[in-house]
């Protein structure tokens, strides 16, 4: 069954704690992305990676970190420096490292992060 | 800075009605535009992608149009069904820079009633 798997579905963070959200894809896609979704706002890009061992900051990277050690995995760590982490986090992928005009993004089912 | 606006924010229609969702963007220099569907608490499903050189795309009961010069796109849904109830998101892909960096609208929440 091909797709993008995000885990856990729900995650709770205590004050001062770092938490890591998992994103795995078996689509053999080169590029992967992390977006944050807040109620009443559009999705905002946190980080993206076009190739293994390389990643770039998006629009709201502060307080987050990522790694891309394997093609199929792109975990996101929400650090204690992120003061307002409560949001719905979505991972996405697209097929190629050099984008094409007809290239679609495919999304996982998301992780809801809440602060205790 | 690209801004994407979707109007209306919410829409309720009776089953069988044809409807149009609107998306406007401020910078016409775009790479492509995608329409997505999102069910509550779920991820996004890509519906249609319109390349910058295209005017429209069709898939089943869905038709999306693009007018770059006026900064507008519409999503037309024919013969709406209760299963179409969801939030519809428009996203514009930036022309410059690497990667598929999308700017999203806030969505239109559609309810199709029996």
Of A87, A81, A43, the C-alpha closest to A65 is: A81
Report chain A's C-alpha Rg in angstroms: 14
pLDDT tens readout for residues B31-67: 899 999 999 989 999 999 999 999 999 999 999 999 9
Give the contacts of A34 (CB within 8 A, at least 6 positions apart).
Answer: A21, A23, A45, A46, A47, A48, A58, A64, A66, A74, A76, A89, A90, A91, A92
Residue B97 clears pLDDT 90, i.e. is over it: no
Q: What share of chain A is helix, strand, coil (3-state, %, to 5)?
A: 0, 50, 50
Least CB-CB distance to B31: which of A6, A101, A104? A101
**What's phi and psi for B83, nearest 5 deg?**
-70, -10
Interchain contact, A31 vs B101, CB within 8 Å:
no
Report chain B's C-alpha Rg in angstroms: 14
What is the distance between the alpha carbons of residues A52 and B86, in angstroms, rounded to a whole number?
A: 35
> Can you say whether the dihedral through the CA atoms of A50, A56, A57, A62 is positive or negative?
positive
Residue B24 clears pLDDT 60, i.e. is over it: yes
- What pLDDT score was predicted for residue B99? 73
pLDDT tens for chain A, 116 residues: list them.
569 999 999 999 988 899 999 999 999 999 999 999 998 888 999 999 999 999 999 999 999 999 999 999 999 999 999 989 999 999 999 987 777 777 889 999 999 999 88
- What pLDDT score was predicted for residue A2? 65
Measured between alpha carbons, how far apart are the two ends of chain B, in Å? 41
Which of chain A's residues have a Cβ under 8 Å away from the Cβ of B55?
none
ω into residue B55 within 30 of 0, thus cis? Answer: no
pLDDT-above-90 percentage for chain B: 88
> Can you say whether the dihedral through the CA atoms of B77, B80, B86, B87 is positive or negative?
positive
Residue B71 clears pLDDT 70, i.e. is over it: yes
Interchain contact, A50 vs B44, CB within 8 Å:
no
B32 and chain A in contact, CB less than 8 A: yes
What is the arithmetic mean of pLDDT over B104-111? Answer: 96
- What pLDDT score was predicted for residue B96? 73
- What pLDDT score was predicted for residue A45? 94
């Amino acid at each position: 069954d091909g797709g993008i798997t995000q885990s856990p579905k729900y995650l709770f963070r205590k004050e001062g704690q770092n938490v890591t959200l998992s994103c795995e894809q078996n689509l053999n896609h080169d590029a992967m992305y992390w977006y944050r979704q807040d109620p009443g706002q559009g999705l905002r890009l946190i980080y993206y990676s076009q190739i293994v061992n390389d990643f770039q900051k998006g629009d709201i990277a502060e307080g987050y970190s990522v790694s891309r050690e394997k093609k199929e995995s792109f975990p996101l760590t929400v650090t204690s420096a992120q003061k307002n982490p409560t949001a719905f986090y979505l991972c996405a992928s697209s097929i190629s490292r050099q984008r094409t005009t007809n290239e679609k993004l495919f999304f996982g089912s998301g992780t809801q992060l809440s602060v205790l | 800075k690209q801004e994407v606006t979707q109007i209306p924010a919410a829409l309720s229609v009776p089953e069988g009605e044809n409807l149009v969702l609107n998306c406007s963007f401020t910078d016409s220099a775009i790479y492509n535009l995608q329409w997505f569907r999102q069910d509550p608490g779920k991820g996004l499903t890509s519906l249609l992608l319109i390349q910058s050189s295209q005017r429209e795309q069709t898939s089943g009961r869905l038709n999306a149009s693009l007018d770059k010069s006026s900064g507008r796109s519409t999503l037309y849904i024919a013969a709406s069904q209760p299963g179409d109830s969801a939030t519809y998101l428009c996203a514009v892909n930036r022309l410059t820079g690497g990667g598929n960096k999308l700017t999203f609208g806030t969505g239109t929440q559609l309810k199709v009633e029996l």
